[in-house]
Chains A and B, each alone.
Chain A
Amino acid sequence: GAGVSQSPRYKVAKRGQDVALRCDPISGHVSLFWYQQALGQGPEFLTYFQNEAQLDKSGLPSDRFFAERPEGSVSTLKIQRTQQEDSAVYLCASSLGRGLTDTQYFGPGTRLTVL
């Protein structure tokens, strides 16, 4: 595909349910990022992968959040025992390399609503 894709686009979960959000980066992109965007706010960094290695997970808000990229391409963000404060848009971005000069390209996001 031409760009970053994410699925599902919308997800409604009852509090306490587990959810899994998928990201398909641009083919060949080494770096993959997850961000969380609350309503009316800017995106906030969650975690970073370089190929299959998760090099930075400093932004994950709690141990209920888990991300993986086992084969260095598709990534999944999993949230266990969802809480209402987890309601947000989850954005995935990828970049070709791993350097400061690499531009991140974003997907359309998954809007998670926890009831």
Chain B
Amino acid sequence: QSVLTQPPSVSAAPGQTVTISCSGSTSNIGNNYVSWYQHLPGTAPKLLIYENNKRPAGIPDRFSGSKSGTSATLGITGLQTGDEADYYCGTWDSSLSAGGVFGGGTKLTVL
């Protein structure tokens, strides 16, 4: 059972927009930065978003992040078949002595 809650799956057609939610609590998302990762099978996860809404160099602006209260959202516009992957949110949980926590992951299918 993951500390952060994500939908198991989302789907959309190429060119469309999709959002992936990540729900937590005041001890984690509510008071800490959220990061998002894209994980393609057989590869290492890739950092897409850090500090809630910042993109590392090289990440296209089709990917965006936001946070409100104890929830965060990853948005992907102009969906491409190459976006089909698992997506994870992560943050620190201040209620834990060692508090790195992740969501269970969301499988994005591009129809």
A and B: real partners?
no
